[in-house]
Amino acid sequence: MNWHLKRAGQALFTLWAVVTLSFVMVRMLPWSAEDIVVAELIQQNPNLAQNRDMLRRQVQDMLMIDPDASITEAYVQYMMSVMQGDLGTTYGVRSGEEVSAIIAGALPWTIWVMSLATFGMFALALALGAIMAYREQSAFDYSNSAVAIVAASIPYYVAAVVFIKYIGFSDFLFLEMIPARNRLPDGVAVGLTFEFVSGAFRHALLPALSFIVTGYGLTALAMRGNSIQTLGEDYVRVARLRGLPDRRIALRYVGRNAVLPLYTWLIISIGTMFGGAVILEQLFNYHGVGYWMLEAIEANDMPLMMGTFIVLTAAMVVAIWFGDLTYGKLDPRIKSGDEGEAY
Amino acid sequence: MSLNDTFTSETELHGVSDPIIEIRDAEVVFEMDRGVSRVLDNVNLTVERGEILGIVGESGSGKSMLASAILDAVVDPGILSGSITYYPENGDPIDVLSLSDEELRKLRWESISMVFQGAMTSFNPTMSIRGHFEETLDAHDFDIEEGMERGHQILSDLYLESERVMDSYPHELSGGMRQRALIALSVLLEPDVLVMDEPTAALDLLMQRSILALLESLKEKYDLTMVFITHDLPLVAELSDRLAVMYAFELIEQGPTNEILQNAGHPYTRSLLNATPNLDAPLSEMRPIEGSAPDPVNVPKGCSYHPRCSVANNRCVEADPEYQQITEEHVAACFHCDDAVEAIPLTHDQAVVQEDEP
Ligand code: SF4
């Protein structure tokens, strides 16, 4: 139990650090975020120049920072509003909209693509790696090892561009079913309909594939190595002598123990994928959190920038925290806290 | 050239009247780049029903290979030839090497079971001990409830808290507990024969002794025949009824434990006895055997022990000695057994004999 508390504390601390960092970053920019906002507001509404109070309120509304307050006061105010889920209001992209609303509309899509990519990649990598290990030094093993290494050396965005060009805009057979842009087909509403589900899947396919194809290689090779090592373990030999069915040995003995070291890898890869989402969503015009982050940077939209930054990092922190919590379930040797004591 | 011809009457030669396992001309070869590696060479051995047979040899003498051979479990790409016959209590003899995969799967663990070297790592680290017991019963179509009851009983027989051990993961058990849990798992399906390869190697002396004692009572209670393979001669001497000594992938001497301890015929066995640390023997009298065990690809011609043997002569270099009868139940593969007895006096035979007699 202790350990859980500690781990939760760590996650919370990371979140706090991220939020604080975004605050500091805004403050430390070579130009003043407030100046930009003020200039922009006055440009939209010249009357504000005279009405300093009104101007201040509007600035505070957007940046969650009172330009006249001291830095401590500003920090406290800012933290309070973030904790209440208020991330300010945009002024560049989609001017005037609540940042939290934009993110709420985008985050599920990013998570959807990322989950598809992560699970697809690991399913492919684990299965392939295990089969390669079982057929060590066969033609299947050699050719797949080579392909995996080549695939792993391609950057995901290059794969994305290739996919867009040759699949996304191709009419060849079923390829026209796989679009290269947007989150959904035109005119399909969110809901539990076949159009929605299949549309969401088809539109997420290419972004996810870009990650899968370029990411599975190293994982598959690692799985292969782990499996070969596990196959040589005494307990696998004893399991065979005990007459256990091959399937059980493959899954419960070789697979389970070979996957363990990869679990941490899986969790870390979620982090890199969220980072990759920024570029990938831009390429596929996929309106997820990463897409808005890049838009915000281009438009110098400070609140949206901060909001997406906070949310992306928070998603990573939560994913890693979840991974840590579940690792103990997978590997009994890493039991959390005092209950793992040997006797 | 096979030794088989000389075994006209097994009973006369080895004093075995009711065999449970019979190994004839067992040979294991590995094709390697630098030549053929023969890691088991013409081994003939009969295990008597209900006995404890000790097999002693240095590491690299092929004794683990013999253990694997009994279960037809030689790892690829090793090739096992010869014949291995298992005599069930009731029913026809079974030719182990000609069984189908499924029959072999049944034979292992149900009739002949095994505790391997490396018991510390014989359990799946991500599964509880209970899981190991249950899946074993399940794989052999045994009644799980009844089998688990027996499992608990065996664990208790081995002085373990059965509930607690069953619920534990392997890493939660100490070495001695894990070893005993493994022994319990190996007799779970009530096999007739238990083959153990260095089952106490990783344990401290005290734990070794207690495991030996437990094995003896387990043998009585569950009516087991045991083959105990080890490098530790004094250890197995305490337990076994008969001993077989392995050198350079061959069995060079076989006989009742007492006979071998007091009157070993083979120079290697005698040197081994003298080289063995024993509390009662003065340290100054311990003599290590000079030289090292031969390479399986390149076993010396003639008697494979001749480069290290102190009584070797030309004959030993030219010809491979066959078993010589020392007593009715005691054979040694040496031309000069009588010379050996004189040339290599045993330094501590008295002490071992005392230990052996309860
Ligand atoms: S046969 Fe010769 S070399 Fe071999 S053990 Fe006997 S005396 Fe030594």
**pLDDT digits 0-9 by tens, B69-105:** 999 988 888 899 999 999 998 888 999 999 999 999 9
* Residue A178 sits in the same domain as residue A309: yes
| CA pair distance A85, A93, nearest whole angstrom | 20
Q: Is there an atom of ligand 1 within 6 Å of B247 CB?
A: no
Under CATH, what is the fold of the domain B10-119+127-246? Rossmann fold (3.40.50)
Residue A161 domain-assigned?
yes
* Residue A17 sits in the same domain as residue A123: no
Distance from Cα B312 to the centre of ligand 1, integer Å: 5
The pTM score is 0.79
Nearest to B73 among A241, A330, A342 (CB): A241
Write out the residue range of the structural domain in which residue A66 sits: 2-83
Cβ within 8 Å of residue B207, ≥6 positions away: B175, B176, B179, B200
* Residue A128 sits in the same domain as residue A164: yes
Residue A296 domain-assigned?
yes
* Residue A107 sits in the same domain as residue A242: yes
Atom of ligand 1 nearest to the CA of B310: 8
How does pLDDT run across B270-316, given as a tens digit for each residue?
A: 888 888 766 455 556 667 777 777 788 888 888 988 888 888 888 88
Query: Cβ–Cβ of B124/A235 closer than 8 Å?
Result: yes
Rounded to an integer, the average pLDDT of B263-273 is: 88
Cβ within 8 Å of residue B307, ≥6 positions away: B291, B294, B300
Q: Where are the alpha helices (DSSP H) in B45-168?
A: 63-70, 101-110, 129-139, 144-157, 162-167
| CA pair distance B3, B5, nearest whole angstrom | 5
Provide, as residue numbers in chain B, all residues whose Cβ is less than 8 Å from the Cβ of A136: none
* Residue A310 sits in the same domain as residue A183: yes
Given a contact cutoff of 8 angstroms between Cβ atoms, the answer to whether B201 and B117 are in contact is yes
| CA pair distance B161, B73, nearest whole angstrom | 32
Q: Is there an atom of ligand 1 within 6 Å of B311 CB?
A: yes
Look at residue A224 and tell me whether its pLDDT is greater than 90.
yes
Cβ within 8 Å of residue B233, ≥6 positions away: B56, B272, B273, B276
Provide, as residue numbers in chain A, all residues whose Cβ is less than 8 Å from the Cβ of B126: 256-257, 260, 330-332
Q: Is there an atom of ligand 1 within 6 Å of B321 CB?
A: yes
* Residue A132 sits in the same domain as residue A28: no
pLDDT at B187: 93
Q: How many domains does chain A have?
A: 2
* Residue A144 sits in the same domain as residue A292: yes
Pick the residue from chain A with its C-alpha nearest to B171: A333
**Token pair of B289, please?**
């055997």
Question: Taking Cα atoms as reference points, which of B111, B71, B97, B83 lies closest to residue B26?
Answer: B83
| CA pair distance A158, A258, nearest whole angstrom | 31
Distance spanning both ends of chain A, measured CA to CA: 19
Q: Where are the alpha helices (DSSP H) in chain A?
A: 2-28, 33-44, 52-63, 71-83, 99-134, 139-152, 156-163, 194-231, 234-241, 246-248, 256-283, 289-298, 302-330
DSSP 8-state class, residue B23? E
Residue A97 domain-assigned?
no
pLDDT at B356: 44
Provide, as residue numbers in chain B, all residues whose Cβ is less than 8 Å from the Cβ of A234: 116, 118, 121-122
Rounded to an integer, the average pLDDT of B230-237 is: 87
Nearest to B71 among A241, A252, A257 (CB): A241
Atom of ligand 1 nearest to the CA of B316: 2
Domain boundary among A52, A83, A114: A83
* Residue A49 sits in the same domain as residue A191: no
Our CA-based measurement puts residue A216 at a distance from the nearest CA of chain B, in whole angstroms, of 25
Q: Is there an atom of ligand 1 within 6 Å of B312 CB?
A: yes
Nearest to A233 among B75, B109, B121 (CB): B121
Given a contact cutoff of 8 angstroms between Cβ atoms, the answer to whether A81 and A306 are in contact is no
**Token pair of B102, please?**
């499924």
| CA pair distance B329, B254, nearest whole angstrom | 8
Cβ neighbourhood burial of B303 (10 Å; 0-12, 13-18, 19+)? buried
* Residue A73 sits in the same domain as residue A119: no
| Preceding peptide of A245 cis, ω within 30° | no
Residue A89 domain-assigned?
no
| CA pair distance A343, A324, nearest whole angstrom | 25
Q: Is there an atom of ligand 1 within 6 Å of B334 CB?
A: yes
Atom of ligand 1 nearest to the CA of B309: 8
Our CA-based measurement puts residue A237 at a distance from the nearest CA of chain B, in whole angstroms, of 8
Given a contact cutoff of 8 angstroms between Cβ atoms, the answer to whether B108 and A241 are in contact is yes
pLDDT at B286: 64
How does pLDDT run across A102-143, given as a tens digit for each residue?
A: 888 888 899 899 889 989 999 999 999 999 999 988 999 999
Rounded to 5°, the CA angle B313-B314-B320 comes to: 95
Look at residue B269 and tell me whether its pLDDT is greater than 50.
yes
pLDDT at B3: 43
Q: Which residue has the tokens 């399986």?
A: B296
| CA pair distance B114, B227, nearest whole angstrom | 9
Nearest to B109 among A235, A241, A330 (CB): A241
Cβ neighbourhood burial of A85 (10 Å; 0-12, 13-18, 19+)? exposed
Radius of gyration of chain B (CA): 21
Domain boundaries, chain B: 10-119+127-246, 250-355
* Residue A79 sits in the same domain as residue A205: no
* Residue A188 sits in the same domain as residue A58: no
Cβ within 8 Å of residue B96, ≥6 positions away: B70, B71, B72, B84, B85, B86, B104, B107
Given a contact cutoff of 8 angstroms between Cβ atoms, the answer to whether A182 and A109 are in contact is no
Look at residue B357 and tell me whether its pLDDT is greater than 70.
no
| CA pair distance A12, A313, nearest whole angstrom | 12
Q: Is there an atom of ligand 1 within 6 Å of B335 CB?
A: yes
Domain boundary among A33, A53, A83: A83
Residue A185 domain-assigned?
yes
Distance from Cα B4 to the centre of ligand 1, integer Å: 21
ipTM above 0.90, yes or no: no
Pick the residue from chain B with its C-alpha nearest to A234: B122
Q: Is there an atom of ligand 1 within 6 Å of B332 CB?
A: no
B320-353 in b/e form (b: 16+ CB < 10 A) is bbebbebeebbbbbbbbbeebbeebebbbbebbe
Q: Which residue has the tokens 């076949």?
A: A194
Interface size between A and B, measured as CB pairs under 8 A: 68
A220 vs A167: which has the higher pLDDT: A220
Residue A260 domain-assigned?
yes
* Residue A153 sits in the same domain as residue A295: yes
Question: Which secondary structure element, helix H or strand E, spans residue B273, and what is its range?
Answer: helix B267-275
Across chain A, which distance is largest between two alpha carbons, in Å?
88
Question: Taking Cα atoms as reference points, which of B307, B298, B349, B323 lies closest to residue B245?
Answer: B323
**Token pair of A113, please?**
């693509």
Rounded to 5°, the CA angle B246-B251-B257 comes to: 75
pLDDT at B273: 85
Distance from Cα B316 to the centre of ligand 1, integer Å: 6
pLDDT at A271: 78
pLDDT at B140: 95
pLDDT at A96: 72
Question: Taking Cα atoms as reference points, which of A291, A2, A265, A20 lies closest to residue A129?
Answer: A265
Question: Taking Cα atoms as reference points, which of A319, A129, A110 lies closest to residue A211?
Answer: A110
| Interface residues on A facing B, Cβ-Cβ cutoff 8 A | 233-235, 237-245, 248, 252-253, 256-257, 260, 330-333, 342-343
Our CA-based measurement puts residue B173 at a distance from the nearest CA of chain A, in whole angstroms, of 7
Cβ neighbourhood burial of B316 (10 Å; 0-12, 13-18, 19+)? buried
Distance from Cα A93 to the centre of ligand 1, integer Å: 95
Query: Cβ–Cβ of A257/B125 closer than 8 Å?
Result: yes
Look at residue B124 and tell me whether its pLDDT is greater than 80.
yes
Pick the residue from chain B with its C-alpha nearest to A247: B139
Which range has the worst mean pLDDT, A282-296, A327-341, B244-258? A327-341
Distance from Cα B352 to the centre of ligand 1, integer Å: 25
| CA pair distance B86, B67, nearest whole angstrom | 14
Given a contact cutoff of 8 angstroms between Cβ atoms, the answer to whether B307 and B232 are in contact is no
Pick the residue from chain A with its C-alpha nearest to B187: A242
Distance from Cα A233 to the centre of ligand 1, integer Å: 39
pLDDT at B285: 64
**Token pair of B203, please?**
């344990």
DSSP structure string for B205-256: HHHHHHHHHHHHHHHHHHT-EEEEEES-HHHHHHH-SEEEEEETTEEEEEEE
Domain boundary among A53, A83, A113: A83
**CATH number for position A144:** 1.10.3720.10
How does pLDDT run across A3-18, given as a tens digit for each residue?
A: 778 888 888 898 899 8
Which range has the worst mean pLDDT, A94-98, A288-292, A308-312, B175-179? A94-98
